[in-house]
Structure 1
């Protein structure tokens, strides 16, 4: 019928039967949404997507056989991939970033109010990513910390000569002294001298700290 908005077809993937049942009951009662299938592990997600052609998948992270990150990556590699919302109790920075890099369109915590989960489903189905406010704040804080570390590292390295900075970059790339000498056209003795000067100028104890500084400064 003209003017009727199609239902958003949802697949729920979670190893907890009570969670699946609760999400199904809640979303099936939400306007514009229909839960078309369920799967109890990431290894069943692809088959369930084949069977039900969902628009949106609600994906748990911690599952016994195939985790949600792997399942998300597989679903997003399909010719016509569904949108993925990760719905989890585990909100570590690593989980958030891994999920987003795998192709998730959203990341919500399981304590998100039902109406907000339903709204998120409709939003990602319309092509608009969604993050819970708590997750957004954490990512903003992480970026701020990284920006601060970058500025500090750049200021620290400013005391080095251009050739010493070249050695810092080589160390940050994982090169040993011999490899650095070849890459930079120096003698091994010259590289060792530069490394010694770098440690002294920057008040560092070892090459690992040089490598971390190079990473923070965006040089490696």
Structure 2
């Protein structure tokens, strides 16, 4: 239960979508224990608002113009370490989560969180606690154990072929990347690969971007050609 004598938590809200930002400001400002003191449409504005208002916490979108959420988090952590950064985003893939947490975020929520959950997380982060959305926790666990493939029914499993040992894979591809590249070469879409491997679409996109970089492929066609040339189809 909220202490009625306690001062409201001062918060800045940063999101590039005006409707989302304004909705969050209105929603949180209705709570007696939250005082939204500023809002921002990009990372640079977020830094300015924090410098001006000195909030206890900032609710920060991950993908914003001028400065993205990760870089904004890094700068906030350097310049205002007393301000708790709470990320609120639609992205829960392992790359986004790990990068932002390493930059100094104390909490990471997805946008299906309700206002009371968001408020509790802001208070917890301001008190020095780390809070992770259950989907984010699952993503981190999956990222920490990449060598353990998900168990899935044979009828639903995506055919992964004969996966080569990591030492035999070209250009530093990981076994997971090789598996996804094989499925791409077999004509599967991102959505089909995600469903077959029980991963989010964003995680699949992250893996595919890494595949493109490691194989010097400009697009999906070039990556499939690479797979065929290296026996990964």
Scaled to the shorter chain, the TM-score interval is 0.5 to 0.7
Is the aligned partner of 1:27 residue 2:18?
no
CA distance in 2, matches of 1:114, 1:4: 21
Q: CA 1:121 to 1:208, structure 2 compared with 1: closer, same or farther past 3 Å? A: same
Q: TM-score, normalised by structure 1?
A: 0.65
Deviation at 1:4, TM superposition (A): 2.7
Extract structure 1 runs of 4+ deviating beyond 3 A: 202-209
Deviation at 1:6, TM superposition (A): 2.3
Higher alpha-carbon Rg: 1
Q: CA 1:78 to 1:212, structure 2 compared with 1: closer, same or farther past 3 Å? A: same
The answer to whether the 8 Å contact 2:92/2:135 transfers is no
Instruction: Give CA deviations for 1:1-24 in whole Å, capped at 9, x if unaligned.
Output: xx9322211000111111111111
CA distance in 1, matches of 2:52, 2:70: 21
1:52-201 equivalence runs, <5 A: 52-145=53-146, 148=148
For structure 2, which runs of at least 5 residues remain unmatched after alignment?
150-164, 176-233
Deviation at 1:96, TM superposition (A): 0.3
The answer to whether the 8 Å contact 2:166/2:174 transfers is no
Q: CA 1:203 to 1:100, structure 2 compared with 1: closer, same or farther past 3 Å? A: closer
| More helix, by proportion | 1
Q: CA 1:19 to 1:212, structure 2 compared with 1: closer, same or farther past 3 Å? A: closer
Instruction: Give CA deviations for 1:137-183 in whole Å, capped at 9, x if unaligned.
Output: 1212222335x59xxxxxxxxxxxxxxxxxxxxxxxxxxxxxxxxxx
Q: Where does residue 184 of structure 1 map in the other structure?
A: none
Q: TM-score, normalised by structure 2?
A: 0.61
Q: Where does residue 164 of structure 1 map in the other structure?
A: none
Deviation at 1:71, TM superposition (A): 0.6
Instruction: Give CA deviations for 1:98-125 in whole Å, capped at 9, x if unaligned.
Output: 1100000011111111211111111111
The answer to whether the 8 Å contact 2:92/2:139 transfers is no
CA distance in 2, matches of 1:18, 1:28: 15
How many positions carry a matched residue from both structures? 157
RMSD of aligned C-alpha atoms? 2.5
CA distance in 2, matches of 1:125, 1:206: 45
